Amino acid sequence: MLPLSLLSAAQNKPMLVELKNGETFNGHLVNCDNFMNITLREVYQTSADGDRFWKLKECYIRGSTVTCAQIKYLRVPDTLLDSVKEEQARAREASRSARGAGPGSRGGPCLYFHALPRI
Amino acid sequence: MDSLIPFTTSGALVDCVDRKMLVVLRDGRKLHGVLRSYDQFANLVLEDTVERIYHGNAFAEHWHGLFLIRGENVVLLGEIDLDQEDDIPLRQVDYNVLDPYHKMDIADRKGREDFKARVLYEQKGFCKEGGEGDGY
């Protein structure tokens, strides 16, 4: 599963995001996009030195300022990971059958994303 | 044709997946973990991540769990040889014991780098580094 897919699958889960300046934001992920911009709610912000704290109802973090999203206590039920994989498989089946039913040639095999490992 | 995949940009890290790797970040952190996934920006998903700090002849570890690392913050990625992994000539101590020394090391290094950057800027005509600098 691609990193950004994992992040999207973590919506509504608690996580810790650390910025490049060392500040940390603990909150629940509301949404994210392909640029890794994220919105969090019920956020506890800690300064880089760990001496100042803020509580924010919502916050928006620009992807370019993130160092690592430390998904610390993400209670990843393996069921969630499996259900996401199932969804992906179902979506693939659906699009494959739709393409098969439609007109037009199928072209050669596409190497790109079939080469990437799926977890 | 299939064997050329590791030489493509999208398949560059395919041989590293599901292996224990050392990741060094730009802020100087050294993380050990199992690389689960990556993308074209080298964003990484690292499982069972352990952060390791060193001081003198001792080291300490701190478990962090599941990490999603933004690719631009990564300096390097190195595969850990599981056979040699435990032959460490240093002794392991508690994280809380070593942490203050580690922070002291970081502060010292930062002081030296800042001083160096200032001299280079003022006397040698180098330009200033962009903001956050690189802790490693």
The domain ranges of chain B are 9-94
pLDDT tens digits, residue range B96-112? Answer: 999 999 999 999 999 99
Residue A97 lies in a domain: no
Residue A13: per-residue pLDDT: 84
Q: For residues A86 and A82, which has the higher predicted lDDT (pLDDT)?
A: A86
Residue A110: per-residue pLDDT: 36
Residue B94: per-residue pLDDT: 95
Please tell me whether residue B8 adopts helix, strand or coil conformation. coil
DSSP A43-105: EEEE-TTS--EEEEEEEEE-GGGEEEEEETT----HHHHHHHHHHHHHHHHHHHHHHHHSSS-
Residue B74: beta bridge partners?
B25
Residue A106 lies in a domain: no
The C-alpha of A48 sits at a distance from chain B's nearest C-alpha, in angstroms, of 12
Residue B63: beta bridge partners?
B50
DSSP state at residue B95: H
Contacts with B, A 73-112, CB within 8 Å: 73-74, 76, 111-112
The C-alpha of B38 sits at a distance from chain A's nearest C-alpha, in angstroms, of 6
Interface test with B, best of A67, A72, A78, A84 (most B CBs within 10 A): A67
Interface test with B, best of A116, A118, A119 (most B CBs within 10 A): A116
Residue A72 lies in a domain: yes
How many domains are contained in chain A? 1
Domain B9-94 has CATH 2.30.30.100: yes
Q: Answer whether B67 sits within 8 Å of A2, measured CB to CB.
A: no
Residues of chain B with Cβ-Cβ distance to A111 below 8 Å are: 1, 5
Residue A43 lies in a domain: yes
pLDDT tens digits, residue range B32-60? Answer: 999 999 999 999 999 889 999 999 999 99
pLDDT tens digits, residue range A27-63? Answer: 899 999 998 899 999 999 999 888 889 999 999 998 8
- Name the residue range of residue A39's domain: 3-83
CA dihedral A112, B68, A6, B14 (to 10 degrees): 30
Does the interface predicted TM-score (ipTM) exceed 0.95? no
Give me the CATH number covering residue A43: 2.30.30.100
Residue A93 lies in a domain: no
Model pTM greater than 0.90? no
